[in-house]
Amino acid sequence: MRCLRGTFMILACLAPLGMLVAGSPNTQEIDEYVRQLGHDKFAKREAAKRALEGIGAPALEVLKRACTDEDPEVQRRARELVRVIEQRVERDLVLQPTMVQLSFRDASIPEAVAELARQSGYSILLGSEPAGLVKQKLTLHTGKLSFWEALDRLCEHAELTQLSGSQAVQRGLNVSVPAPAVQLRPGSRLGMIRSNSIVLISGKPPMFPTYYAGALRLRVLPPGSAGAPTDVNPGETVMALEVSPEPKLQGQETMDVHVIKALDDRNQPLAQVAPPAPAPRSGQQQVIIQNGNQVVIRQVIVGRANSLNLGDRPTWNGTPQVVPLRFKLPDQAGLTLAELQATLLAQIQTPPQPIIEVDEVTKVLGQRVAGRDGVEMTVIGCDTDRNGDVLLRVHLFPRLAAGMAAATVNLPVQVLPNGPVNPLNVSRTGATVGRGQFTLLDKDGNAYQLIASRVDEAFTGATYQLDYRLTLRPPRPGAEPRKLTYAASRLAAIELPFAVRNVPLADSQ
């Protein structure tokens, strides 16, 4: 537990998921815990579950074998543990922070900011007049810290304040720089990357209760703070959870916050209040394709709120977003929210990961190969032209409701409210879609060079298909194609527990 400027406090960041309980259990000890998942006594089963969850990734191999155990109770608990641990491992991978180390003696503020930008690789701009900051000298030694911790430490010592993207735009600052491509998928919401620059101005930074979680920074903005909601009902208080991803992260789905425990300084519980319903409005109707064989028409009545009206649940994409936290106040409420424990629910785009791997590409021609997340692939052709280049044709079948970010399908469809829906048959040539990357290796592991590509998109009403035509140059004359890998970003669902203390319950202004 570490103090953060003034009276506010944060709890520990993400613990490494490889941490083991009571040392490092060997395989025999893990096997024993798995056997106890089927113990006659409930307390023993629960204790074994907690122990295996604490062991984490090293227990996955044994737990996956236990998913087919003869004991149904062992099967059930093993499957649940595999799901929980794999989700945590993926969360840890996605939220791996950028680590930096600042060490200055009598450096100017622009020099310090430039050094943090250099180490992190992020665009950090000074919105204040740099000439006025050159005269101020800064001495700071942070040790190795995550990017957000280092930025906040720098702002504290240099008396700098971070602006949101909208505030920076209002000041006439250009906060848009090239960003990584965002992988899209059917049914996903679209949004522009508004800003991936961090803008700092002169001014003492606000002291918000903060929780650092790898590449995420969570700050609770008290009532009345800039960015906190202002629509407060009688007998309620509303604050905001500001979620700041490092610029390298791209989130694609709305976030929710599930409050586990909220106590004021009088030890009284505060009940979380559901966000208000979106205001009625007209809008374009949305057709969602699910599982390839079901058509769902959302909000077909014009004049009602459509599914793009997110209300209190924002979509975020590499920039800080605010999620309102509403509470019902007790009759004699205290002055502060002494303790808040909650879980952040979100979907974040992962770095590209192998989805399908084929060891002998020429031996699976015409076969449908299954991969991760229900994605399937058929290699239609793998030929060599007269120049020695490989002409590869692949049909890729994304699972439309899967977590993998494959593509966004915008289909022109005539919809009659409460009327029948005819089967959809749509094809597009050279369609521009968010897609992954194919890698072809020869028998020695050398990569072919992609020199030309084309992808066509088709939806038949039952199947969504991407038709790839790739031309690849061999690493050397006479090389033979061997291993084919399809890699793409996925949308990882994360559950992030966090806790903060001492949040004011009323507007202090």
| Averaged pLDDT for residues 206-226 | 89
Does residue 170 have a pLDDT over 70? no
Domains along the chain with CATH numbers: 27-94 (1.25.10.10), 98-184+192-205 (3.55.50.30), 353-488 (no CATH)
Percentage of the chain surpassing pLDDT 70? 69
pLDDT over 60 at 303, yes or no: no
What is the reported pLDDT for 87? 86
Q: pLDDT digit string (tens) for 83-108?
A: 999 888 888 888 999 999 999 899 99
* Higher-pLDDT residue of 448, 456: 448
Q: In this predicted structure, what is the pLDDT of residue 206?
A: 87
Higher pLDDT, 372 or 290: 372
What pLDDT does 128 receive?
61
Between CA 455 and CA 485 the distance in angstroms is 17
Mean pLDDT computed over 459-486 = 88
**The pLDDT of residue 319 is above 80:** no
Say yes or no to pLDDT of 185 above 60: no
pLDDT confidence tier of residue 4, bands split at 50, 70 and 90: very low
Percentage of residues in the chain having pLDDT higher than 90:
40
Residue 276, CB half-sphere, CA atoms under 13 Å: how many? 10
What pLDDT was estimated at residue 400?
A: 54
Supply the mean pLDDT for the chain: 76
The single-letter DSSP state of residue 29 is: H
Q: What is the DSSP string of 434-467?
A: ---EEEEEETTSPBPEEEEEEEEEEE-SS-EEEE
pLDDT in tens, 111-166: 999 999 999 999 998 876 656 677 788 899 999 999 999 999 999 999 998 886 44
* pLDDT tens track for 248-274: 886 656 578 999 999 999 999 999 988
| Statement: residue 470 has pLDDT above 90 | yes
> What's the pLDDT band for 233 if we cut at 50, 70, 90?
confident
Position 505 scores a pLDDT of: 86
Task: Specify the range with the lowest mean pLDDT, choosing from 221-225, 447-451, 494-498.
Answer: 221-225
Please enumerate in sequence order all residues whose Cβ is within 8 A of that of 62, keeping only pairs 6 or more positions apart, or say none: 27, 30, 31, 34
The answer to whether residue 187 scores a pLDDT higher than 50 is no
| pLDDT: which is higher, 42 or 164 | 42
CA dihedral 218, 220, 225, 228 (to 10 degrees): 80
- pTM for this entry: 0.69
Q: Is the pLDDT of residue 416 over 80?
A: no
Q: In a 10 Å sphere around its CB, with 0-12 CB exposed, 13-18 middle and 19+ buried, how is residue 303 labelled?
A: exposed
- Terminal CA-to-CA distance of the chain, rounded, Å? 29
Among 73-82, 258-267, 300-309, 410-419, name the one with the lowest average pLDDT.
300-309
What is residue 440's predicted lDDT score, i.e. its pLDDT? 95
**pLDDT class of 240 with cuts at 50, 70, 90:** confident
